[in-house]
Structure 1
């Protein structure tokens, strides 16, 4: 009898551990965590993302949720700073007890959070506003990457499209202005690698610190070479400050920049001065409602005029997570979520596809080139 009791106790303890392992999941809810900038220069990016994700979660919940469970979002402000992103990720996992993570922002913050927190804790993150290679390594090369699922193309994909376009126009004097962090360095590496394929090197390289607009020295360094084009691997405020100062210095190169700049925010900063700036995009045109995903995004917003590339990307991230949770079934675990994501090898979100496998976390290679036209319109 004593042995039977001991076996029963051991069995109950094991079952209790299994139940306890379903962190962030109850009979009625699934708790999702998010860390992104909601304040500071990059605050508008995070706020747009959070608004769209909350709206989509409400839509899912009003339709009955996922297997009877309602989605909840717990979002923390990291100000686009790596140490805060790491601290937030740790708090979301250890104190808030979230099931999974969604929509991180920035290369350095996300890479630090992955390697220091969520990769070690084996908590999946779906989507990051980053094209850094550090987040796209095979899990065979970095086991922490097993829990990172990208939804957008890489910076290498974006810089390839930009460089090929400029070279096709006959440009040979191409400079680079980049943000001094993981984002900027990854973009710079991509530009250098692509130029090398065309037997070129950057004619000048200059930098700016993250969350600042101290561009004076960069303008001096780049203006010296009178570039035909400048590829900016920077966000909207630094990009706007750089363009203004370059034009004051009577420099009129073709300015190109990468998708994280946020086209609508760049237009807000520069007004008519934004005209002619080229931007690579990693999402479909968010005003083209012939695509089912864009059409559904417009319905979610209620006012298509508020559409943005970043908002559409947040919608795509949330859809990937929801589809994977739904595919994982009623008995939801983090490992089942990882397996479900890995089985989505050519997953159609409605005209935009993502794909993963056991050793591939890249998600997408889609890149489109756009230009800012008159009145701040984004033209393809």
Structure 2
């Protein structure tokens, strides 16, 4: 009888213990994309179409870094499993890719986005879903400001930081007091212009702004206006095609002032020179670069070596790796560090909290990768090169934007 009572008491205690543990077990089971042996990550970027140069090899770089982590033992005994979707750099395709990855593939977190305007279309859905999203190389200002609870990006740089850094360079390095600033007449252009104006005011400089349509075919008017305004330097913060037209027109019209080309204007330096058609147009040109050193330099050799090992067929082609390829490393590092910090029983909430505390030197990008509970843009610095159409000559120093979000 005593034995039965003891057994009954033990059974009750076991049931109570199981009941107490049930919510924790259930909570862990409810985390999508996590198994005892794997962590599923959803990636998306332009794998086809006219904008693929902005992201195809960026996706490849992130994947090869995850593969490297897997070879080294994974994260707390789990291998990273990647599911990839083509977003073609269009808003509709970005949203479709994100929804598929979250709803059908049941990924634990997202790592994607190479084109700034299209990624904004996925912001509201991602916030509602609660899935952590670490962007690839999109600036994504419209999804990062105001700060969203589960979205992190600008691992290459935000558009606001692009504008701030180029003006910092023009004033500090080129001693420009009057700066011609050419941007797009859309939200993308407004983002970089906001910080450019802030930086100019901070540095005691004046901006002469020409905002152009991204599809402009004749840039004579804006170039003539800047020449007439007597600017000390010109910053081109447009996409590649308008930048090529502006460089060519500036040379035709005899503009001899320094020209600073923002990183988003350069999909391929080789193509830039070919499309402009004259090395004379590059007699006084500076190129913004977001990496810590020149692409292919000794400091970044490990990235290019890893690419050749990972994609021997691609590495043998003349257009690969694409210029933005190394940009995929920093977001992959963020994800790996956050998963490591989240511990052996990761949850989305733990990963988000871990990202908010990250502050490290990637060794790949120009400035530190740093987030906070109120800052979702991870990298704000650039280096610069003098470019004569053939040779890149580094300019000493790192030039960072000082613009910060103030709840506008």
TM range (shorter): 0.7 to 0.9
Change (3 A) 1:153 1:359: same
Paired residue for 1:215? 217
In structure 2, how many angstroms separate the alpha carbons of the residues matched to 1:249 and 1:15?
Answer: 70
TM-score for the superposition, normalised by structure 2: 0.76
Write out per-residue CA displacement over residues 127-177 of structure 1, whole angstroms, 9 at most, x where no aligned residue: 34344654554xxx64x2443254244444443332233335354553222
In structure 1, how many angstroms separate the alpha carbons of the residues matched to 2:55 and 2:98?
Answer: 15
Q: How does 1:88-107 map to 2 (within 5 A)?
A: 88-107=97-116
Deviation at 1:314, TM superposition (A): 0.9
Q: How does 1:318-333 map to 2 (within 5 A)?
A: 318-333=332-347
Asked if residue 268 in structure 1 is aligned to residue 271 in structure 2, the reply is yes
* 1:297–1:312 contact (8 Å) kept in structure 2: yes
Change (3 A) 1:261 1:111: same
Q: How does 1:106-145 map to 2 (within 5 A)?
A: 106-114=115-123, 116-131=124-139, 133-137=141-145, 142=147, 144-145=148-149
Deviation at 1:198, TM superposition (A): 4.9
Paired residue for 1:73? 82
Report the aligned-residue RMSD: 3.4
Asked if residue 349 in structure 1 is aligned to residue 362 in structure 2, the reply is yes
In structure 2, how many angstroms separate the alpha carbons of the residues matched to 1:325 and 1:155?
Answer: 28
Paired residue for 2:4? none
Q: Tell me the secondary structure at the aligned position of residue 215 of structure 1.
A: coil
Q: Tell me the secondary structure at the aligned position of residue 27 of structure 1.
A: coil
Paired residue for 1:256? 260
Write out per-residue CA displacement over residues 221-273 of structure 1, whole angstroms, 9 at most, x where no aligned residue: 332341553322222233223322443444444322222334x6133232364
Paired residue for 2:67? 58
Paired residue for 1:315? 329
In structure 2, how many angstroms separate the alpha carbons of the residues matched to 1:357 and 1:191?
Answer: 23
Q: Tell me the secondary structure at the aligned position of residue 53 of structure 2.
A: helix
TM-score for the superposition, normalised by structure 1: 0.81
Q: Tell me the secondary structure at the aligned position of residue 71 of structure 1.
A: strand
Write out per-residue CA displacement over residues 3-45 of structure 1, whole angstroms, 9 at most, x where no aligned residue: x8x9899779746742442211223322212232233332111
Paired residue for 2:304? 298
Change (3 A) 1:53 1:153: closer
Structure 1's unaligned 5+ residue stretches are none
In structure 2, how many angstroms separate the alpha carbons of the residues matched to 1:103 and 1:378?
Answer: 32
Q: Tell me the secondary structure at the aligned position of residue 105 of structure 1.
A: coil
* 2:39–2:80 contact (8 Å) kept in structure 1: yes
* 2:260–2:285 contact (8 Å) kept in structure 1: yes
Change (3 A) 1:149 1:335: farther
Q: Which moved more, 1:186-195 or 1:13-22?
A: 13-22
Q: How many residues are paired up?
A: 365
Asked if residue 37 in structure 1 is aligned to residue 63 in structure 2, the reply is no
Asked if residue 234 in structure 1 is aligned to residue 249 in structure 2, the reply is no
* 1:52–1:311 contact (8 Å) kept in structure 2: yes
Q: Tell me the secondary structure at the aligned position of residue 55 of structure 2.
A: helix
Change (3 A) 1:342 1:170: closer
In structure 2, how many angstroms separate the alpha carbons of the residues matched to 1:59 and 1:154?
Answer: 27
Change (3 A) 1:188 1:40: farther
Q: Tell me the secondary structure at the aligned position of residue 302 of structure 1.
A: helix
* 2:179–2:232 contact (8 Å) kept in structure 1: yes
In structure 1, how many angstroms separate the alpha carbons of the residues matched to 2:21 and 2:59?
Answer: 40
Deviation at 1:107, TM superposition (A): 2.8
* 1:82–1:108 contact (8 Å) kept in structure 2: yes
Write out per-residue CA displacement over residues 111-133 of structure 1, whole angstroms, 9 at most, x where no aligned residue: 3322x121221211223434465
* 1:38–1:45 contact (8 Å) kept in structure 2: no
